[in-house]
């Protein structure tokens, strides 16, 4: 009977690998996607999958969302990486699930470069809620829904930070009535929403598949919940 030689892995290599994995989750943050399956997430049966370590839709013809079921946070910072290929997608925060796997609320648009920076009200109940803020803007909605816009940056310069057909790092900050989206370290847009009819103080986190050939990937998803 032959015995295979014992293979020794240097301690420094094991330590380096451990530190590398730990570095992906910053202090105070919690990893909410295991990179293997949809544990902790829930979508319409058969519509979402995990492929190559990322959550991705199965390119259906139905507009639907996959929801993180870990809670409905109020104030938080969400960090993830995404790669967009085609179709229409988005990252929902503080959103309402008004029907099973259907979302109404704040969305960071995930789309071609020309559309990036949009804060959108998914399934907007009224037209004025559709485009909440665009790239390079800081917008404020008053209690009565009146919108004021402050242009703080050149939108084309802001959008240039976005990498098409490549991985991008997204940060979404929700604090009180204010929402900020950053992509690759650049602030794309900011929204402050006091609208008494439609603003929400807490809600679900979800990803959208608008159907009709949507191809997008989400990975390295972690969150720090403040309340």
What pLDDT does residue 227 have? Answer: 86
- Delimit the domains of the chain by residue range: 28-225
What pLDDT does residue 23 have? Answer: 44
**Range 28-225: architecture per CATH:** Sandwich (2.60)
**Within a 10 A sphere around the Cβ of 117, how many other Cβ atoms?**
26
Q: Please give the Cα distance from 193 to 177 (Å, whole number).
A: 5
| Residue range 159-206, pLDDT digits in tens | 999 999 999 999 999 999 999 999 999 999 999 999 999 999 999 999
pLDDT for residue 212 is more than 60: yes
What pLDDT does residue 138 have? Answer: 98
Q: Strand locations in 87-203, DSSP E?
A: 89-99, 102-110, 119-122, 131-133, 137-141, 147-151, 168-175, 178-183, 186-193
Residue 114, both tokens: 């020309």
Which residues face 46 on adjacent strands?
none
| Residue range 61-94, pLDDT digits in tens | 899 999 999 999 999 999 999 999 999 999 999 9
pLDDT for residue 4 is more than 60: no
């Amino acid at each position: 009977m032959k015995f295979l030689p014992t293979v020794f892995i240097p301690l420094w290599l094991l330590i380096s690998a451990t530190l590398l994995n730990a570095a992906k989750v910053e202090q105070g943050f919690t990893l909410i996607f295991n990179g293997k399956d949809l544990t902790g997430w829930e979508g319409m049966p058969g519509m979402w999958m995990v492929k190559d370590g990322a959550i991705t839709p199965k390119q259906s013809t139905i507009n639907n969302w996959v929801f993180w079921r870990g809670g409905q946070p109020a104030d938080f910072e969400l960090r993830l990486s995404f790669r967009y290929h085609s179709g229409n997608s988005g990252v929902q925060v503080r959103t309402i699930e008004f029907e099973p796997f259907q979302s109404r609320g704040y969305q960071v648009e995930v789309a071609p470069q020309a559309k990036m920076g949009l804060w959108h009200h998914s399934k907007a109940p009224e037209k004025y809620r559709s485009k909440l803020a665009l790239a390079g803007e800081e917008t404020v909605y008053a209690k009565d829904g009146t919108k004021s816009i402050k242009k703080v940056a050149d939108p084309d310069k802001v959008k240039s930070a976005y990498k098409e057909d490549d991985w991008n790092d997204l940060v979404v900050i929700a604090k009180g009535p204010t929402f900020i989206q950053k992509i690759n370290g650049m602030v794309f847009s900011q929204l402050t929403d006091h609208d008494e009819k439609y603003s929400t103080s807490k809600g679900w986190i979800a990803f959208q598949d608008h159907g009709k050939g949507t191809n997008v990937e989400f990975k390295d998803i972690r969150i720090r919940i403040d309340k």
